[in-house]
């Protein structure tokens, strides 16, 4: 599939002429004016290269380039202008972060060479992003698999939080959805540093000593330190560290940002983590949201309302689809299946909690256990989601 090129100008004749000229060379769309260009981006169309005229009524080309940079950071930006003064060029480069600058009138072939260079630059940018995300995802997967082995209950929690995070990222159109996704996956990682007996008391709602509370309070910091060792995951480690920080400055860590100074992803994660603690099904019930609204000072309430809206929308959509649920013996469990019931040995030892999405490492662990132990069977699973 060819990369999309968007040409923006207030001159309809010029737009149509260039569209005809480039019809066999580029996948080209045109927008007459800044408003039409922003509408084009609002339709979630992926644009590789945007060629923008400087002088347009209303929002000028420089302002539009800044908007495009915010909406679609990977889009390569090229400016056309009939006013080729030095200050215009400086502003375009510094404020619009443009890739090329052409003076009007511009030979269509010269402009075409610039567009082709922009497409090549876009491919380079997106290829680097994909490589980075794949590399980081592999590193994160190792940590997640370790959590699944050591603490299957916490792993199940992180899986549910990650699924919600994916929904929220899509609905809110986050600029870096991978950041929230990875932070959600790693949100419970610090629990592997908490002794099992303390985790047991927490799950039972038993009173904790001051020393035990101090250990629990240190879990997010431990997770941050583990994650920070992975190159380029510093932003993820910061989000995980601040997941219990209240919007009003309460919570953990005791010293930290408050309000909108807390990273957006950390504010979202705080809400999702607290919702998960009150959820026993696939989606949080209305009572869980009401509980959070009753403590609204601890949350970004505008964000809380948005999250409620998008999760309830997703819940309605899922309820209209026929789930592929079945019960299987342990020997027929494969990666990609989602557990709908706890996976336990006959002695009731929990191996993986309900809600866990089986990875290759999980299946290998199950196969190894099945050689020496018997499981409660069959196991209820979701074949696809």
Contact 215, 194 (CB under 8 A): yes
Q: Tell me what the pLDDT averaged over the chain comes to.
A: 88
| Integer Cα distance of 253 and 30 in angstroms | 50
CB 355 within 8 A of CB 160: yes
Residue 323 DSSP class: -
Least confident of 102-116, 195-209, 299-313: 195-209
Q: pLDDT by residue (tens digit) across 3-25?
A: 999 999 999 999 999 999 999 99
Q: What are the chain's domains?
A: 4-125 (3.40.50.2300), 151-321 (1.10.3210.10), 323-385 (3.90.105)
What would the mean pLDDT of 37-50 be, rounded to a whole number?
89
* 229 has pLDDT over 60: yes
Omega before residue 105 within 30° of 0, cis: yes
pLDDT for the residue 292 = 96
State the average pLDDT over residues 199-226.
88
64-90 pLDDT tens trace: 998 998 889 899 999 988 765 566 666
> Is pLDDT at 248 greater than 70 in this prediction?
yes
Per-residue confidence band for 128, with pLDDT thresholds at 50, 70 and 90: confident
pTM: 0.65
For residue 72, how many C-alpha atoms fall within 13 Å in the half-sphere facing its CB? 24
- Buried/exposed 184-202: b ≥16 CB within 10 Å, e otherwise: bbbbbbbbbbbeeebbebe
């Amino acid at each position: 599939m060819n990369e999309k090129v968007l040409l923006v100008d207030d001159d309809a004749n010029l737009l149509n002429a260039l569209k005809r000229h480039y019809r066999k060379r580029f996948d080209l769309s045109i927008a007459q004016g800044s408003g039409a260009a922003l509408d084009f981006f609002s339709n979630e169309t992926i644009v590789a290269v945007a060629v923008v005229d400087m002088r347009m009524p209303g929002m000028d080309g420089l302002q539009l380039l800044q908007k495009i940079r915010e909406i679609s950071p990977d889009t390569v930006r090229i400016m056309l202008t009939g006013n080729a003064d030095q200050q215009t060029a400086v502003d375009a480069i510094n404020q619009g972060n443009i890739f090329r600058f052409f003076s009007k009138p511009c030979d269509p072939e010269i402009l075409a060479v610039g567009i082709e260079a922009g497409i090549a630059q876009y491919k380079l940018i997106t290829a680097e992003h994909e490589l980075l995300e794949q590399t980081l995802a592999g590193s994160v997967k190792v940590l997640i698999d370790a959590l699944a082995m050591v603490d299957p209950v916490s792993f199940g929690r992180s899986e549910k939080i990650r699924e919600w995070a994916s929904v929220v990222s899509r609905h809110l159109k986050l600029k870096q959805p991978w950041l929230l996704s990875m932070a959600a996956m790693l949100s419970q990682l610090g629990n592997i540093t908490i002794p099992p007996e303390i985790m047991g008391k927490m799950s039972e709602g038993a009173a904790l000593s001051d020393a035990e509370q101090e250990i629990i309070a240190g879990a997010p910091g431990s997770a941050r330190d583990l994650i920070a060792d992975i190159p380029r995951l510093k932003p993820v480690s910061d989000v995980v560290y601040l997941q219990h920080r209240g919007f009003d400055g309460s919570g953990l860590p005791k010293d930290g940002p408050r309000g909108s100074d807390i990273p957006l992803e950390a504010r979202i994660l705080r809400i999702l983590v607290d919702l998960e603690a009150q959820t026993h099904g696939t989606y949080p019930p209305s009572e869980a949201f009401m509980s959070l609204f009753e403590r609204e000072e601890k949350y970004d309430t505008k964000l809380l309302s948005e999250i409620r809206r998008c999760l309830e929308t997703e819940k309605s959509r899922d309820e209209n689809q026929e789930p592929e649920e079945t019960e299987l013996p342990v020997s027929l469990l494969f990666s990609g299946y989602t557990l709908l019931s706890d996976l336990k040995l006959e002695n009731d030892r929990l191996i993986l909690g309900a809600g866990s999405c089986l990875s290759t490492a999980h299946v290998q662990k199950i196969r190894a256990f099945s050689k020496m132990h018997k499981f409660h069977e069959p196991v209820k699973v979701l074949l696809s989601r």
